[in-house]
Amino acid sequence: MVDMPYLVEVAPGMTAIEAVSLLQDAFIQVATEVLDPTNKPFEDTLPHQHLQFDRLRTLLNRRDTDISDWLDSTARIKVNGGQWDCGEVETNLRQIEVIVLALRTAQLRQSINLRVNPTQQSGFDAEGTQDGNRWVLNAYGGVNVTNNGKLVEDAEALSLAKDFKQLLFACRPSAWRSQKTVRSVSAGMFKLINDPTKDGVCLFEFLRSDNDKRH
């Protein structure tokens, strides 16, 4: 893991467990600096890391912090030696959060050959191999999947990913804003394949429309 113009970049070729560990560590470091700078260092084992990650993302949901830089939308926060405003920090943290939770699901946790692209660079947000099949994932860390046509844009991008067996989309349950487990758009259909109440994330398989299915 190296510091880049973005908050974090993960080198390709690792397992889902390794990627989760690195992404959780990055999330914890940044979120602690922003939300809870007085917190003591945590024991860096995966179970303790899971707990710390989940605690900090709960804090991010509440935003019950007295840090003036965070509450002042015009202020800047120093992260990894760079200047980032509050909105940029939250956007990147949310993106990392959704990818981590997706990789922790039963559907993806045994994946290998991962390439993770967590903080708004071009291209898909993650890709890997599970049970010999290649998959690709677009993650959405925002508050509403219908904002700005984001869901339609991701569907169109996924529909062009011809070299992958499984096309996936992930978002926070609160961003889905619907009880429906299936949603159709012009390029195809999103079908929920996990239990969001258990995983803390909605993981959808995207199925191309009938006239554009190529396996």
Residue 2 lies in a domain: no
- Between 57 and 195, where is the model more confident? 195
Domain range for 79 is 16-212
Going by pLDDT thresholds of 50, 70 and 90, the confidence category of residue 209 is confident
Q: What six digits make up the tokens of 90? A: 């939250």
Residue 3 lies in a domain: no
Instruction: Provide, rounded to the nearest whole percent, the portion of the chain with pLDDT above 90.
Output: 43
Based on the structure, what is the number of domains in the chain? 1
In this prediction the pTM is: 0.82
Residue 205 lies in a domain: yes
Residue 178 pLDDT: 87
**pLDDT exceeds 50 at position 119:** yes
Residues 180/145, Cβ–Cβ less than 8 Å: no
Residue 10 lies in a domain: no
